[in-house]
Chains A and B, each alone.
Chain A
Amino acid sequence: MKYVIDSGPHIKDDDSTALVMNRLLIALIPIILFSIYKNSFLVLVEGKYSIMQALYPIFILLIASSTSILSEKIFVHILNKKYGYKKYKSYFALFPGLFLALIIPINTPLIIVFLGALIASIIGKMLFGGFGYNVFNPALIGALFILTAYGTLIASNGGYLNPVEIDTIATSTPLSNLSALNYVGTYEKVVNAYGSINSFIFGTIPGTLGEVSKILIVLAFVYLVLFKVIKWRIPVTYILTVFIMTFIIGYNNNLGIWYPIFHILSGGLLFGAVFMATDPVTSPVTDSGQIIYGISLGVLTVITRFLTSYPEGVLTSILTMNMLVFLIDRLGVKVKFNIKKIILPLTLMILLSFGLSLYISNTIKDTGKKNDRVQIINKEQSGSKTIYTLTTKGWGLIEAKVELQKGKVTKIEILNSSTETQWSEIEDNDYINTLINKQSDIENVDTISGTTRTSKALKDMIIAVLEDYGD
C-alpha cells in the first residue's frame, strides 16, 4: 500500500478564511440595504429629485467596488506577467472599495470615488504585498486621500447630506454641528436638531452610507463576534473608552448621560470600531494587545474630536494605531507570559484618559461658556432705554454700563477699568465704538492682539447683553 505524507495534524478545523470573509460580507448586507433605502428610495419617493440623484449612492457603491476588484486583478496580472505565472494571487479584492464607499461623504464626485478606491486597493493593499501584508487599513488610506485632497470640493458638492437632508436639515452632520457649538450644547440643539435619539439609533440622520444605522451595526457586531469574524475586545474597549471620557467631559459641563451616548451614536465611531478597527490584518493578534489598541483608539478619537478642528477622528485614530500594531503585539506577547506586565501600560492609559477628559472638560468650559466671565449686576428700564450694569473679567474686573435701545447697543460707558494693564490699546483702537458699530456681527469682531484678554472680555460683555436682551 502506498501512502502520502504530510506534517499533520491529520484533522482540521473546517472554518476557512474565505468563509470568514463571506460572513463579513453578510454582516454588511443589511447596512448596505438600509443605506440604499435611506439615500435612494426615500429620495426617490420624495418626487422632486432626479433619478440620477436618487441612484447616486448605488453608483458610489458600484464604482468603488468594481474599481477595487478590477485594479487588484490587473495589478496581479501585470506582476505575474513580469515575475512568472501564478506567483501572485488576488484575494478578497472587493473589500477596500466596498468599505471605502461606506465611509466617504455621499456627495463625493464619482471620479474621486474611483480615485479613492484605486488608492485604497493599489497603495493601501497591493503595494504592501496584497491581502495579509498591508500595514494600514486599505479603505482608510483611500478615504484619507479623498478627504485631504478633495475635502473642500466634496463639501461644496453637498458633503455628507443627501438631497432630502440638504433641503430639510440644512446644517451639517451631528458632529460638525456639535463642533460648531464648541462641543457644549443643550439636548435640543445637539440631539433634537436631528429628530430624537431614536433617529440616531435607527439611522435617519445625515452621515456616510455605512455609518448611520447604529442598530444594524450593533446587530452586525453580535453576528460577527458569534461567528468568530472579528476581535471583540477592540470595539468593546474602543467604545467604552470614548463613552467614559465623554461622560466625564459631559458631567463636568453639567450635561446628562445623553452626551456620551450622543458621542457613541454619532459619526463613524460605531462603524469604525466594529468594521475598520477590527480589520484582522491591521490589528493586534494578542488579547491584551487588542485591549491596549482599543483604549488607544478611544483616547485618540476623543482628542481629535475635542482638541482639533476635525469633528470626526475615527479614521485618523485607526490609521495612527495601525502603525503601532507590531509594538502593541510585542507587549501582548510579554503579557501572556507574565500578566503583571500589563499593569503599567494599562494604568498609564487609564490615567491618560482620565487626565485628558478633565483637561478637555476645562477647555470646553472656557470656550463654550464664555459668558461665565460676564456678570449682570443690574438691569433697569428707563423710557425706551434698557440700561445694564455689569462686570466682565479681563486681566482684572471691568465695570461698565451698557445702554440698549430697540435691541441695539447705543452706548457703552466704562465705569472702572483700573485693573487693566493695556487699557490704552483699547482706547487707541477705538474698540468700544467698533463693538457698537459691528454689534450685528459681533461674533466676527476681532480681538486686539496685545490686549486679547481685555478686548475679548469686552466683546463677551456685548454678547452677553445682547443674549440677555434677546431672552
Chain B
Amino acid sequence: MLRGIELDGNKDISIKRDILDMSEQINTLYVPLVNHTNLNCKCLVNVGDVVEKNSIIGMREDIELPILSPSDGTIKEIGECLYMNGDLVPCVVIEVNKKSKTKKEIEDITKYTKDEFIRLLKDNAVVGMGGSDFPTYIKYKASNIETLIVNAVECEPYITSDLMLVKLKAKEILDAISATMIINKIKKCFIAVKSNNTIVIDSFNEHLLSYSNIEIKTVKNMYPMGWERHTVSAVLNKKYDRFPSEIGVVVSNVSTMYAIYKALKYNSSISKRLITFTGSNIKKPINVLVKIGTNIKDIIDEVGIKKGRELKFVVGGPMMGEALLSENVIATKNMNCIMVLKDEDDLEVLPCMRCGRCDQICPAKLSPVLIKDNVDNSDNLRILDPKKCMECGLCTYICPSNIDLRSYVKKAKKEVK
C-alpha cells in the first residue's frame, strides 16, 4: 500500500484560460549559474560579450554541464539574483537582442547512437524539469534500461504546467519518447497519469495508435504519487533501494521529454517553459510561457494580484513550494508554479497528542513524531532514518496540533549527515 492522501486538486482554475505567451516580451533575462544542488557554477562570459541562443555562458565544473544562453543578446552584467529556493545566487544578465534565424531541423530523430544521445542531452543541458534540475543525461547512461516511465502525474495541487504542455505538445512528446526508446533500446514505456486527469489521457490517446510499446498507465489520484518511488511502485509494482536504474527503470518528467525533443529535433536547449500562475489571490489564474531567466516580477502584473493583508508568494506548489519575500525570483527550467495566496491565520501550535497521523501518512514510512522527539539524539535518529524524507510536507499538512513536523525532520536530516 502506497501511503499518501487525496488532496483537493484545484487544477481547474488555471486551465480555463489558454496559455499566455510572454516569452518574446521580456528584454532582460537573468540566468542563474546553478544546477541541481550546485548553486555556484562558473561564469564563462564577460560584460559586453555578445551571445547567441545556446551559447555557453557558464559551466557546472564537476560534471562539465554547460549553462546555455536562452536567447541572443549582450551580456549586461554579472550579478546576483533570487533563486526559487530563496537563496541569492550568481547570475548572468542578458540584454535580449533578437536576430532572425531559421531553425535547423532534423528529419529523423531516431538516427542517433546512444553515445550521441547522451552527448546531445549534456550539451543542451537537459535537466529534470519536474523540479529537481538533475542532469538528465546521467540517468540515461545506465546500460540496462528496460523500462521508461514518463511521469505526467503532476500530483501537487494547483499546478497545471505539465497538463497544459501535454495538451499542446502531446505529439512531440510521444516522438521524443519513441526516439529515446529506439536509441536506448528500451522495450517498454509507461506514461503515468492520474486517473482523473482526462485532459492528459485524451491528449496522448489522440496520437497513441501510431506508437508501439507506449502505454498510458493511470495511477491513483493521490499526493505524492509523482514521487519517483511511488510512481515506479504504482506502475510496475516494484521497489528499489536507491535509484530506479537498479531495476532497469528510468523515470523522466513529461516536460523533460519535451526538452529531449528539442535537443533531438533542433539540437537546441529548452529556452522557454510553462509556469502556472495560480492561487486565491491571483486575479487571472493562467499558464504563462516564459523565457528561462525571466524575472517573475515582470510577468506578475499580467496575471494581476488581488490585494490583501498577509499574502504569501510561493514558488512551486502548495505542498513543497517555498514562500518568498519578493517577487523578484527568476524563472528557471525547474520552476513550474507561482502561487499568491492568503496566509492562514496563525494557527496555534498545540502539544503533540501522539495521534499518529503523521506516522500513518508518511509516504517514506517515517515516523515524524518520533523524529521530532529525538531530533537532538543522533543515535536514536539513525534508527528513525530521517534521510528517507523527500520533504513532501504531508506530516505538517495532516498534524491536528499544527506542529511543523517537516521542519523537524529536515533538521534531523542534517543531524545524521
User: How far, in Å, is B278 (CB) from chain A's closest CB?
Assistant: 12
A118 CA / B327 CA spacing, docked (Å) = 56
Residues of B within 8 A of A20 (CB): 353, 355, 400
The answer to whether A285 touches B354, judged by C-beta atoms less than 8 angstroms apart, is yes
Residues of B within 8 A of A329 (CB): 367, 370
Chain A 125-167 interface 0/1 with B at a Cβ cutoff of 8 Å (1 = within): 0000011110000000000000000000000000000000000
The answer to whether A6 touches B352, judged by C-beta atoms less than 8 angstroms apart, is no
The answer to whether A4 touches B343, judged by C-beta atoms less than 8 angstroms apart, is yes
Residues of A within 8 A of B7 (CB): 11
- Most chain B CB within 10 A, of A3, A16, A290, A329, is at A3
Return the chain B residue nearest A284 by Cβ: B356
Which of B314, B323, B351 makes the CB contact (< 8 A) with A133? B351
Asked whether any CB of chain B lies closer than 8 Å to the CB of A287, the reply is yes
The answer to whether B320 touches A281, judged by C-beta atoms less than 8 angstroms apart, is no
The answer to whether A3 touches B323, judged by C-beta atoms less than 8 angstroms apart, is yes
Interface size class of A (residues with CB under 8 A): 35 or more
Asked whether any CB of chain B lies closer than 8 Å to the CB of A1, the reply is yes
User: How far, in Å, is B328 (CB) from chain A's closest CB?
Assistant: 11
The answer to whether B396 touches A8, judged by C-beta atoms less than 8 angstroms apart, is yes
The answer to whether B360 touches A16, judged by C-beta atoms less than 8 angstroms apart, is no
Return the chain A residue nearest B322 by Cβ: A8
User: How far, in Å, is B115 (CB) from chain A's closest CB?
Assistant: 39
Tally of B interface residues using CB under 8 Å:
54
The answer to whether B312 touches A5, judged by C-beta atoms less than 8 angstroms apart, is yes
With A3-B324, A7-B404, A334-B383 known as contacts, the answer to whether A131 contacts B367 (CB < 8 A) is: no
Which of B323, B370, B406 makes the CB contact (< 8 A) with A333? B370
Residues of A within 8 A of B307 (CB): 1
- Count of chain A to chain B residue pairs whose CB atoms are closer than 8 Å in the complex: 140
User: How far, in Å, is B304 (CB) from chain A's closest CB?
Assistant: 11
The answer to whether B323 touches A4, judged by C-beta atoms less than 8 angstroms apart, is yes
With A17-B400, A281-B354 known as contacts, the answer to whether A8 contacts B323 (CB < 8 A) is: yes
Which of B354, B360, B404 makes the CB contact (< 8 A) with A287? B360
With A3-B313, A10-B312, A17-B401 known as contacts, the answer to whether A286 contacts B367 (CB < 8 A) is: yes
Asked whether any CB of chain A lies closer than 8 Å to the CB of B389, the reply is no
Chain A 410-432 interface 0/1 with B at a Cβ cutoff of 8 Å (1 = within): 00000000000000000000000
With A5-B323, A5-B325 known as contacts, the answer to whether A16 contacts B402 (CB < 8 A) is: yes
Asked whether any CB of chain B lies closer than 8 Å to the CB of A459, the reply is no
Asked whether any CB of chain A lies closer than 8 Å to the CB of B318, the reply is yes
Residues of A within 8 A of B367 (CB): 285-286, 329, 332-333, 336
A1 CA / B325 CA spacing, docked (Å) = 9
Residues of A within 8 A of B319 (CB): 8-11
User: How far, in Å, is A215 (CB) from chain B's closest CB?
Assistant: 26
Asked whether any CB of chain B lies closer than 8 Å to the CB of A355, the reply is no
Chain B 272-307 interface 0/1 with A at a Cβ cutoff of 8 Å (1 = within): 000000000000000000000000000000000101
Asked whether any CB of chain A lies closer than 8 Å to the CB of B93, the reply is no
A284 CA / B8 CA spacing, docked (Å) = 30
Residues of B within 8 A of A284 (CB): 356
Contacting residues of chain A (254-295) with chain B, CB-CB under 8 angstroms: 280-287, 290
Chain A 309-350 interface 0/1 with B at a Cβ cutoff of 8 Å (1 = within): 000000000000000000001101110110000000000000
Asked whether any CB of chain A lies closer than 8 Å to the CB of B347, the reply is yes
With A5-B324, A333-B367 known as contacts, the answer to whether A17 contacts B353 (CB < 8 A) is: yes
The answer to whether B398 touches A11, judged by C-beta atoms less than 8 angstroms apart, is no
Chain B 153-170 interface 0/1 with A at a Cβ cutoff of 8 Å (1 = within): 000010000000000000
Known: A131-B350, A287-B360, A333-B383. 13 other contacts (CB 8 A): A3-B311, A3-B324, A9-B319, A9-B396, A17-B350, A20-B400, A91-B350, A132-B401, A280-B355, A285-B359, A329-B367, A332-B367, A336-B365
Report the 3 A-B pairs with minimum CB-CB distance, sorted nearest first. A132-B351, A285-B356, A9-B393
A-B contact pairs, 24 of them (CB 8 A): A1-B305, A3-B326, A4-B312, A4-B343, A5-B323, A5-B324, A6-B312, A7-B323, A8-B318, A8-B393, A8-B396, A8-B406, A11-B319, A17-B353, A17-B400, A91-B351, A132-B350, A132-B353, A280-B355, A281-B354, A285-B370, A332-B367, A333-B370, A334-B383
